[in-house]
């Protein structure tokens, strides 16, 4: 799997500490954690998801699997 998007509200600590390591070990190349309470996005990439990026609301970014797709945090959160 190339991209997984996890949406969290109260489950954020569990998602980050428990689920994301499982996704990385399972071969998911990139995982996004959408934090609904904070209105932010974490982009996890690289071996063991050591590369974590938190784009600004107006910053443009692309999923690794879809490099031609330009998004902002507003696009993802609505």
Contacts of 62 (CB under 8 A, 6+ apart): 68, 69, 70, 71
Query: Any idea which fold 3-77 has?
Result: tt1808, chain A (3.90.1570)
Q: What confidence score (pLDDT) does residue 32 get?
A: 98
pLDDT in tens, 9-65: 889 999 999 999 999 999 999 999 999 999 999 999 999 999 999 999 999 999 999
What is the residue extent of each domain of the chain?
3-77
The pTM score is 0.92
């Amino acid at each position: 799997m190339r991209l997984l998007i996890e949406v969290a509200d109260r489950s954020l600590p569990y998602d980050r500490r428990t689920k994301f390591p499982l996704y990385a070990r399972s071969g998911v190349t990139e995982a996004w954690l959408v934090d609904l309470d904070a209105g932010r996005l974490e982009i996890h990439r690289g071996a063991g998801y050591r590369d974590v990026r938190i784009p600004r609301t107006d910053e443009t970014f692309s999923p690794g699997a879809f490099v031609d797709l330009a998004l902002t945090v507003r696009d993802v959160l609505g």
